[in-house]
Structure 1
């Protein structure tokens, strides 16, 4: 498809600004960003950083998804991923009411085994099979928790909490913010009943993630620190699980600090996370893919958020993925590194990073808004038509 001026986030910011009757200076003042930066973003000369998008969305009273162009409806329809969202929405309607089923639920052990498969699919960014499985797993879990008691009922709540966590990932990745919000509220209900402090910490971790989109960084930092305090002195059924959750919470705080430009707070939080990772090593407790590698890839991402693209490239030299590491996190790393290479002027390496992201986690890459920004930036800089870049742009729907 031919490129249009509406394909990058800056163009959508400009269109929304004009619809609100605001000048660039007016929006810059409301969003607390410089007019010069806003001007460059609107015409595609500078990247639309996540912090700037959140600030503009808040100032314009729209969602960040709207400025990012999500959900990418036509691409979702082409991949038939749109057809799996409505069944998930329908399954999320019931989480607390006992219904009479003609067919009894399967034994809990079988449900838990299938839930573990879905959790693996989430970590590997295999979104379609995960989405297909979730509706009936949610229904079964609800049926079991209303027909059992004791530890079996607790386990049903635990499975249900994991299902809601997976729904959040799907909805957030595809830009269905309303569905992600519902999933988060359901997780807040199920986690305490599962009697797993790590799941309660997962709720805090994801809630802080939503504040990145709204630009409420003060609230996000409060959520992280409150969750960390709640973890102190807790016991878990998963060895190293709580240390892993504490680690990812510190990384979440580092990301929030990066969005506010607080480099000192970033360094402090990353240091805390690095020390925890040194003690735990690599682990997948609570499905977070925690360890020194996760700290490394977050350091690269945060450097990008701080517009320190040269530093991001340098930090990436020390990142080595262990065998079998999470494809979702690895794919995201290649997207971050591709963005860094664009703005350091290495277009060839940027495209190579995007291609690695595609090979690593294709569904995640295709629907991630940052890849579109990177491709648009590459196309605006190419001196001669690149077949590889054109094919990639077509693949993501540009």
Structure 2
């Protein structure tokens, strides 16, 4: 199947947004910069064969390989994977959100009712959990301004923590779309907010989100330094369930970062360290809990272990983690459920189970269509499935219709 027919064309040639899946976006970026496959592969220290297979759709472009290939081109991992677009009628929300972020120290003149703010914060949390991206984007500009005003006027720990939580949702939205300039600014503001009236749990969550910008930038080792330092601070400043929760969410980020190390031996060692610590922290919680839009417990730990085994290049181990995946995912919100079948689909592709991969990818679309649309691996697995199925496949055609991604 011709590469150009798999996905829609890029929105612009500077890489601001793209409708291409990651592997196709990589091919376009390489050609724009005048690299041959051999030149780029040599500079990234990967095989020409692997690069060729990724570009034509025979292999998925993994985040770690995207980071390696981005460096010779002067691009971050997020830029190689491609920034996700928003519907045209939603683009007007972005300037309003950027303006609210810019005015972080300019509270409004009118007092904000605390009950109304709490209700809006709860609604934004629900939109995030349910991956209702368009509704979250519509809510955040006004919510951020109200939370800013309330924090400056009330000047309490809870008020500043509420503002920090809004910035965390801004980071979440930006990171999902790979808008890394906004993501980096959001985590800076998030840390600033939580430091106004220091809250150790808030500091840990802010560090977790900051490490996420290193993750999307492809600086996995640097992100792990941020995580390890934050774990030490959390262990020293918190106790009981709050300490376990903070250490737990940080370890989830830590294992993800370690799983993407180029040196897989070192990555495995670091990942196992964080996996062990996460399991120990999860013993405080019989089921997963949600605090300040962070989810931690034995279930979310399992989903992260699965993803980490896959990133370490061990797809069969990842699939063994998924043996009882239905009970693992039970009760989790869509934002945590949908990435798991996407990861399972990627693992199944690696072991040659195309039908299983298609089934799981379809499940991800059913659970959280707005996430699946912008998730780089969701789009990439679809691209590879479309390329490998060299005959008509009803399930693939159905998914193409549901997702709006052309074959």
User: Kindly tell me: are residues 397 and 126 of structure 1, through their superposed partners in 2, closer, same or farther at Cα, counting changes over 3 Å?
Assistant: same
Query: 1:244·1:288 contact (CA, 8 Å) conserved in 2?
Result: no
How does 1:294-309 map onto structure 2 within 5 Å?
A: 294-309=300-315
Q: Which runs of 5+ in 2 are unaligned?
A: 10-19
User: Kindly tell me: are residues 200 and 128 of structure 1, through their superposed partners in 2, closer, same or farther at Cα, counting changes over 3 Å?
Assistant: same
Distance 2:294 2:387 in 1: 36
User: Kindly tell me: are residues 198 and 148 of structure 1, through their superposed partners in 2, closer, same or farther at Cα, counting changes over 3 Å?
Assistant: closer
Distance 1:33 1:112 in 2: 50
* Structure 1 range deviating more: 137-146 or 15-24: 15-24
1:49 counterpart = 2:62: yes
Distance 1:81 1:313 in 2: 38
Distance 1:8 1:116 in 2: 33
1:339-385 per-residue CA deviation (whole Å, 9 max, x = no partner) reads: 11222222222122112112211211111111111111111121421
> For the aligned residues, what is the CA RMSD?
2.3
Specify the alignment match of 1:386 in structure 2: 393
The number of residues matched between the two structures is 386
| SS of equivalent to 2:284 | helix
User: Kindly tell me: are residues 143 and 287 of structure 1, through their superposed partners in 2, closer, same or farther at Cα, counting changes over 3 Å?
Assistant: closer
| TM-score, normalising length: structure 2 | 0.87
Query: 1:372·1:396 contact (CA, 8 Å) conserved in 2?
Result: no
Query: 1:241·1:286 contact (CA, 8 Å) conserved in 2?
Result: no
1:362 counterpart = 2:365: no
TM superposition shift of 1:250: 1.5
Distance 2:396 2:233 in 1: 48
Distance 2:370 2:7 in 1: 24
Distance 1:266 1:58 in 2: 23
Distance 2:329 2:49 in 1: 42
Query: 1:158·1:193 contact (CA, 8 Å) conserved in 2?
Result: no
Distance 1:56 1:274 in 2: 33
Specify the alignment match of 2:95 in structure 1: 86
TM superposition shift of 1:396: 4.1
Specify the alignment match of 1:224 in structure 2: 227
Distance 1:42 1:191 in 2: 43
Query: 1:5·1:11 contact (CA, 8 Å) conserved in 2?
Result: no
Specify the alignment match of 2:37 in structure 1: 24
Q: Which runs of 5+ in 1 are unaligned?
A: none
TM superposition shift of 1:265: 2.3
User: Among residues 167, 170, 177, which one is paired with 2:170 in the alignment?
Assistant: 167
TM superposition shift of 1:228: 0.7
Distance 2:251 2:355 in 1: 34
Query: 2:84·2:178 contact (CA, 8 Å) conserved in 1?
Result: yes
TM superposition shift of 1:328: 0.4
User: Among residues 62, 74, 83, which one is paired with 2:75 in the alignment?
Assistant: 62
Specify the alignment match of 2:23 in structure 1: 10
User: Kindly tell me: are residues 126 and 347 of structure 1, through their superposed partners in 2, closer, same or farther at Cα, counting changes over 3 Å?
Assistant: same
Distance 1:175 1:233 in 2: 33
TM superposition shift of 1:124: 2.2
| SS of equivalent to 1:284 | strand
Distance 2:152 2:310 in 1: 47
1:111 counterpart = 2:117: yes
1:213 counterpart = 2:203: no
Query: 2:372·2:379 contact (CA, 8 Å) conserved in 1?
Result: no
TM superposition shift of 1:8: 4.0
1:277 counterpart = 2:286: no
